[in-house]
């Protein structure tokens, strides 16, 4: 059953992913760095139902949100809690991510 989300938590790894994305864009455009991070956070805050987004094709135990066609946000459902486990650019190969 599709439960209503009570809380959204970010894993340490996902938090580090945000830091890396921010640092990368900060070197090129501070304005884009802030806009991208705000987009990522606000898009995840709009998750209302646990099964609102698609099952991730690379990890069927997770679901994913594509943000601005640039970033993939991966999350797990733990009862009525969303755990964001990873954030990475859509251009990166998911099979090589964090290896």
Domain range summary for the chain, segments of one domain joined by +? 7-92
Characterize the bridge pairing of strands 63-67 and 81-89: unpaired
pLDDT value of position 51: 84
- Tell me: pLDDT of 99 over 50: no
What tokens appear for 65 in the block?
């949100």
41 Cβ contact partners less than 8 Å away, ≥ 6 residues apart = 18
pTM value? 0.86
Q: What percent of the chain has pLDDT over 70?
A: 92
Name the architecture of domain 7-92. 2-Layer Sandwich (3.30)
């Amino acid at each position: 059953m599709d439960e209503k989300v009570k809380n959204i938590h970010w894993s340490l790894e996902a938090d580090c992913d945000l830091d890396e994305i921010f640092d990368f864009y900060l070197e090129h455009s501070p304005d884009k760095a802030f806009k991208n991070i705000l987009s990522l956070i606000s898009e995840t805050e709009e998750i209302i139902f646990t099964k609102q987004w698609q099952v991730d094709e690379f990890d069927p135990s997770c679901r994913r949100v594509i943000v601005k066609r640039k970033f993939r946000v991966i999350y797990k459902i733990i009862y009525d809690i969303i755990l964001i486990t990873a954030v990475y650019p859509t251009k990166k190969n998911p099979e090589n991510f964090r290896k």
